Amino acid sequence: MKRILCTLALCTVPFLSACKKSGESAGGEEKLTIALLPKSKGNQYFVTCEKGARVAAAELGAELLFDGPTNSDPAKQNEIVENWISLGVDVIAAAAENKDGLSTALRKARAEGIEVITYDADAQTDARSFFVNQATAKGIGDALMDNAASLTGAEGEFAILTANLTAANQNEWIEVIKARQAEKYPNMKLVDIKPCDDQKDKAQQETTNLLSAYPNLKAVVAVCSPAVPGAAEAVKQAGKTGAVKVIGLGLPSENKAYVKEGVTQAVILWKVEDLGYLTIKAAAALAKGELKAGAAEFDAGKLGKLAVEGDNILLGTPFTFNKENIDQFDF
Partner 1 sequence: MNGRYSREITVAAALGLLLVALAVFAPNFFELQPLLSRFTSQMPALVAAIGITLVIITRQIDISLGAQFSMCAVVAGLVAAAGMPLGVAILAAVGTGIAMGAFNGILVAWLGLPSIVVTLATMVTWNEMLRLWQQGRLLPLPDGIQWFGLSQAGGQGLVIGIAVVLLLAAAWAMRHLAAGRHVYATGTDAEAARLAGIDPKRVTLGVFVLMGGLAGLAAVLNLVQSPQVQPNSGDGLELKVIAAAVVGGVAINGGRGNLWGVLLGLLLLTNVNPALTHFKMEPYWERAIQGLVILLAVVADGMKRSKKSTA
Using CB under 8 A, list all residues that contact partner 1.
40, 42-44, 71-72, 165, 191-195, 197-201, 204-206, 208-213, 215, 226, 229-230, 233-234, 237-239, 254, 257
CB 245 within 8 A of CB 233: no
In the complex with partner 1, the residue whose CB is nearer, 24 or 197, is 197
| 193 or 295: CB nearest partner 1 | 193
The least CB distance from residue 66 to partner 1, in Å, is 17
HEC sequence for 212-227: HHCCCEEEEEECCCCH
- Burial annotation 261-278 (CB, 10 A radius, 16+ → b, else e): eebbbbbbbbbbbbbbbb
Closest approach of Cβ 263 to partner 1, in Å?
A: 11
**Between residues 28 and 215, which has the closer beta carbon with respect to partner 1?**
215
The answer to whether 152 and 188 are in contact (CB under 8 A) is yes
Nearer CB in complex with partner 1: 72/317: 72
Cβ proximity to partner 1, 165 vs 182, nearer residue: 165
Query: In Å, how far from its chain's centre is CA 104?
Result: 24
Q: How far is the CB of 320 from partner 1 (least distance, A)?
A: 20
Q: How far is the CB of 259 from partner 1 (least distance, A)?
A: 13
Contact 269, 276 (CB under 8 A): no
Q: Could you tell me the strand order of the sheet in which 297-299 lies?
A: 63-66, 33-37, 91-94, 115-119, 130-133, 312-314, 305-309, 297-299
CB of 19 to partner 1, least distance (A): 38
- For Cα atoms 135, 103, 42, give the angle at the middle one, nearest 5 degrees: 65
Instruction: Give the burial string for 308-317 (b: 16+ CB within 10 Å, else e).
Output: beebebbbbb
Q: How far is the CB of 251 from partner 1 (least distance, A)?
A: 8
Reduced DSSP (H G I as helix, E B as strand, rest coil) percent helix, strand, coil of the chain, to 5? 50, 20, 30
Q: 169 or 237: whose CB is closer to partner 1?
A: 237
Shorter beta-carbon distance to partner 1: residue 238 or 307: 238
CB of 60 to partner 1, least distance (A): 30
Residue whose CB is less far from partner 1, 107 or 178 = 178
Count of CB atoms within 10 A of residue 49's CB?
30
Residues 103/96, Cβ–Cβ less than 8 Å: yes
Contacts of 125 (CB under 8 A, 6+ apart): 131, 311
Report the nearest approach of partner 1 to the CB of residue 209 (Å).
Answer: 4
